[in-house]
Amino acid sequence: MKKKIALIYGGDSSEFEVSVKSGKHIALHIDREKYDVWEVLMKGQEWRVLACEDGSQLVGGHASYSLDKTFSYPIDKADFSFVIPSDLGIGGTRVHFDIALIMIHGTPGENGLLQAYFELIGMPFTTSPATVCALSFNKYACKCMLRDTGVKLAREIFLRRADNYNPFQIIAKLGLPLFVKPNNGGSSFGISKVKRAEELSQAIENAFKEDDAILIEEFIEGREMTNGVFENGVITANGDRFENKLDSNISSVSGAKSYNNLIDRELYRLPVTEIIPDNEFFDYEAKYLGASQEICPAAISEELSDRIIDLSHKIFHHLGCKGFVRIDYIVRGDEIFFLEVNSVPGMTEMSLVPQQIRAAGLTIKEFLNHLLSQSF
């Protein structure tokens, strides 16, 4: 019997539209011979399973993401199930999902809220645990977690909305230019590059529009790199190991989890991407509207590429990540500075991780089969 997948997108952040595009793209590539897929749109308190005009499943992710209740089914939040009404309108068939495939960027899918809910009701999901998502979403907390590991970090100042600050003291410590960004979040909303002292207060105000806490970081002159990491579930049943095409590219076993089968958690070495934004930095326009060059694999030495990938795997393990993530860096000479972890990376057709998957010689369907196999 096919496993039932809840493909979840939408959310409550500025990245709603990007999340929908990620979900629709993923819907095109899930193996329908293995999985029974239902698309779930979340927006505020509205959690609804989207359906075609006749009430049947969407196929291929082409339908509208309208909240029109005529062609959708409400999610029962007690257990994340839903009911398909009978033709007579009395009773119906209750559908229970086997796993949640989370494609929500921002809240509640990237900050751990949705994961905590699924942990409470006992439903498997494809991302890192709730605590890890919450940690990686909080840029300052994530840096604190990595501070004693040898990972290079930009100097920063952390502010909450009610804190008093002196712009000149900030500049004296961090210099100019510098970056001001919301502390929580994985998007480019509210981020400013400050070049002059008179710009700092406005940049801080803009960041506070997105979050109640902000991070002010020193500017590091260098090349922006990013690297995806995902777990490959290699299933062992009755003592027999089922090898697959990923094995030759695998590094560092990260433990195992037992259900009916044993699944060894191993990390796949995706290539590094260099991002060359047309603007001052990798802002919303560069990230989502094509205002950047994205070179994958990056035109760097094999030694530097290996160091970045090894560092991504080290951070993945240290933070306790699961599923797949994307980690961003600035490279200055031979120094690699950590920027942030994206626990639910964008998965539109042109997003960075899909580009890396294709450059590694995989299809998105193959990637999803391995992602889903290690999540049950």
Query: What integer best gives the mean pLDDT of the chain?
Result: 86
Predicted confidence at residue 165, as pLDDT, reads 96
Percent of the chain clearing pLDDT 70 (strictly above)? 81
> How many domains, the chain?
3
Q: Work out the average pLDDT over 165-176.
A: 97
Predicted confidence at residue 314, as pLDDT, reads 97
Assigned token pair, 271: 């290539």
Rounded Cα distance between 229 and 250, Å, is 11
Q: Tell me, yes or no, whether 256 and 302 share the same domain.
A: yes
Q: Which long-range contacts (CB under 8 A, 24 or more apart) does 166-170 make?
A: 167/197, 167/200, 167/201, 168/197, 170/200, 170/216
Q: Tell me, yes or no, whether 228 and 360 share the same domain.
A: yes
Burial class (CB in 10 A: 0-12, 13-18, 19+), 40: buried
Q: Vertex 302, ends 299 and 290: CA angle to 5°?
A: 30
Q: Which range among 42-51, 289-298, 323-332 shows the weakest confidence by mean pLDDT?
A: 289-298
pLDDT level of residue 87 (50, 70, 90 thresholds)? confident
Predicted confidence at residue 279, as pLDDT, reads 67
Predicted confidence at residue 247, as pLDDT, reads 38
Q: Tell me, yes or no, whether 212 and 234 share the same domain.
A: no
Residue 33 lies in a domain: yes
Q: Which long-range contacts (CB under 8 A, 24 or more apart) does 286-293 make?
A: 286/188, 287/187, 287/188, 287/346, 288/18, 288/346, 290/350
Predicted confidence at residue 298, as pLDDT, reads 98
Q: Tell me, yes or no, whether 262 and 346 share the same domain.
A: yes
Burial class (CB in 10 A: 0-12, 13-18, 19+), 304: middle
Predicted confidence at residue 249, as pLDDT, reads 41
Predicted confidence at residue 54, as pLDDT, reads 62
Domain housing 265:
136-140+223-373
Q: Tell me, yes or no, whether 25 and 107 share the same domain.
A: yes
Place of tokens 């994958």: 296
Predicted confidence at residue 305, as pLDDT, reads 98
Rounded (10°) CA dihedral 304, 307, 313, 315:
-100
pLDDT level of residue 221 (50, 70, 90 thresholds)? very high
Asked if 43 and 10 count as a contact pair (C-beta separation under 8 A), the reply is yes
Q: Tell me, yes or no, whether 113 and 206 share the same domain.
A: no
Q: Tell me, yes or no, whether 210 and 351 share the same domain.
A: no
Asked if 30 and 368 count as a contact pair (C-beta separation under 8 A), the reply is yes
284: which residues sit within 8 A by CB, 6+ positions away? 187, 188, 189
Residue 333 clears pLDDT 70, i.e. is over it: yes
Assigned token pair, 105: 């960027």
pLDDT tens figures, 7-33: 999 999 988 999 999 999 999 999 999
Q: Work out the average pLDDT over 164-187.
A: 92
pLDDT level of residue 290 (50, 70, 90 thresholds)? low
Q: Which range among 140-154, 155-169, 238-252 shows the weakest confidence by mean pLDDT?
A: 238-252
Residue 29 lies in a domain: yes
Q: Tell me, yes or no, whether 254 and 368 share the same domain.
A: yes
Q: Work out the average pLDDT over 49-78.
A: 71
**CATH number of residue 311's parent domain:** 3.30.470.20
Q: Tell me, yes or no, whether 210 and 294 share the same domain.
A: no
Predicted confidence at residue 234, as pLDDT, reads 46
Q: Work out the average pLDDT over 261-276.
A: 78
Q: Work out the average pLDDT over 278-299.
A: 71
Q: Work out the average pLDDT over 68-84.
A: 87
Residue 281 lies in a domain: yes
Rounded (10°) CA dihedral 30, 116, 350, 304:
-110
Residue 355 lies in a domain: yes
Closest Cα partner for 261 from 241, 235, 243, 242?
Answer: 235
Residue 130 lies in a domain: no
**CATH number of residue 42's parent domain:** 3.40.50.20
Predicted confidence at residue 241, as pLDDT, reads 38
**CATH number of residue 214's parent domain:** 3.30.1490.20
Residue 280 lies in a domain: yes
Rounded Cα distance between 77 and 32, Å, is 26
Q: Whole-model pTM?
A: 0.86
Closest Cα partner for 106 from 297, 346, 274?
Answer: 346
Q: Tell me, yes or no, whether 41 and 180 share the same domain.
A: no
Q: Tell me, yes or no, whether 214 and 227 share the same domain.
A: no
Place of tokens 């998502």: 133
The Cβ of residue 190 has, within 10 Å, a number of other Cβ atoms equal to: 21
Helix (H) or strand (E) holding 288: helix 284-288
Q: Tell me, yes or no, whether 249 and 357 share the same domain.
A: yes
Residue 52 lies in a domain: yes
Looking at residue 262, its amino acid is L
Residue 145 lies in a domain: no
Q: Which range among 120-129, 177-186, 229-238, 338-347 shows the weakest confidence by mean pLDDT?
A: 229-238
Helix, strand or coil, per DSSP, at residue 53: coil
Predicted confidence at residue 264, as pLDDT, reads 45
